[in-house]
Amino acid sequence: MKNVTTLFKNACLIALAFVSFTSIAQEEETSTLDKVLENVTLSGSIDGYYRYNMTSRNDGTAGSVPATSFAGQSGFALGMANIILGYEGEKVGFVADLVFGPKGEDAVFNSDGTAQVINQLYAYWNVSNSVKLTMGNFNTFLGYEVISPTGNFNYSTSYMFSYGPFSHTGLKADFTINDKWSAMVAVMNPTDYTENNPFDTYIIGAQVGYANDNGSAYLNFRYGNEGATADVEPTFQVDLTTGWDVSDAFYLGVNATYLTTDSTVDGGDASGFYGVALYPQIKTSEKFTIGLRGEYFAEFAGGAGAIGGYDVDGDANVFATTLTGSYNVAGGLTLKPELRYDAASEDVFVDTDGVVGESGVASFLLGAIYKF
């Protein structure tokens, strides 16, 4: 009987040890999972808009709207749904940024199949406190405006943004020089070829940045062959992006850019564009801010085909004035009423009868953006 009792005690002790070990293992697994989830973020936005052309057609007739990105449909129209999954570890991390909807399709126009929903997809490594390496598909470092409507004050976009690069795929290195100065260098596929490289040519990117508590300024460069070497010559772009809090209520942003592509014809003129835009904004209350974008954009030798009509030398220019209000309704919902007038040097717009012959077009837009 004593042997049976001893055997029973031993069995109980073994069972208790097994249960304790299992519980500890489960706690360790839960603790590890919790630590991983602490570094995972999920964010994004959805947006849509209503547009009415006051001096032109509202039936999609060519020339009835400015040839800028993302907000060119009449009536009630969809923007995009944006979902961003990120992981930020001590040394490494990743971002998977997905877009769905008409604006998303326009943003990733050089992708095919399932890649058409990928806005950004990259991994990074913090090599040290001053060096960070990023590889994959990332939105461009050039310009003042971005693809996501949550990153722009105006709902409609500028000519400089619309005809500059949207995204790149490649390898970039960011350097923190000190608490104010930074730098970046990159090797990338031809611009907007984010899924692969069909040309076996590459472009170089570079940036020098300065930032303090009141604002920042970035001088950006890209240079390289943007296609097959037999078809195009190298493109060079220099871009300045800066913005400063002049006071608690007044902010001023500036974007200036110059792009040129050499001619494939011996002795031919280089083509390209240049422009400048001012972004003054006044905060009138905790919920409402009003801002203006005044942009001058000019093309030479045919440029990028942005304006759509040119003189005998292939030159044209446009001045676009956009007045936008930004009202935070509650939580993450923002409404943006907007008036815009584009005045071109050539008669490139149609009138209300659909006849080409107008140099200007006026429109009203109401954007709705929800950010989470």
* pLDDT tens figures, 15-60: 555 555 555 555 555 565 566 678 999 999 999 999 999 999 999 9
Q: Are residues 156 and 202 in the same domain?
A: yes
Residues 184-189 have a mean pLDDT of 98
User: Is position 346 within any domain?
Assistant: yes
CATH number (domain holding residue 160): 2.40.160.10
Q: Are residues 63 and 9 in the same domain?
A: no
Q: Are residues 5 and 70 in the same domain?
A: no
Q: pTM for this one? A: 0.89
User: Is position 254 within any domain?
Assistant: yes
Q: What is the pLDDT of residues 116-136, one digit of tens each?
A: 899 999 999 999 999 999 999
Domain count for the chain:
2
Q: Are residues 29 and 150 in the same domain?
A: no
Residue 186: name the closest of 165, 211, 203 by CA.
203
User: Is position 69 within any domain?
Assistant: yes
Choice among 31-45, 142-156, 220-234, 265-279 with the minimum mean pLDDT: 31-45
Q: What is the pLDDT of residues 53-64, one digit of tens each?
A: 999 999 999 999
User: Is position 360 within any domain?
Assistant: yes
Q: Are residues 224 and 353 in the same domain?
A: yes
Q: Are residues 22 and 72 in the same domain?
A: no
Q: What is the pLDDT of residues 152-166, one digit of tens each?
A: 999 999 999 999 999
Provide the pLDDT confidence category of residue 144 given band limits of 50, 70 and 90.
very high
What pLDDT, on a 0 to 100 scale, did the predictor assign at position 348? Answer: 96
Q: How many residues does the chain have?
A: 372
Q: Are residues 211 and 239 in the same domain?
A: yes
Instruction: Decide if 159 contacts 68 (C-beta within 8 A).
Output: yes
Q: Are residues 7 and 69 in the same domain?
A: no
Residues 206-220 have a mean pLDDT of 98
Q: Are residues 319 and 352 in the same domain?
A: yes
Q: Are residues 195 and 228 in the same domain?
A: yes
Q: Are residues 323 and 292 in the same domain?
A: yes
User: Is position 194 within any domain?
Assistant: yes
User: Is position 1 within any domain?
Assistant: yes
Q: Are residues 67 and 2 in the same domain?
A: no
Domain range for 333: 46-78+144-371
**Which position has the token pair 């494939």?**
264
User: Is position 108 within any domain?
Assistant: no
User: Is position 99 within any domain?
Assistant: no
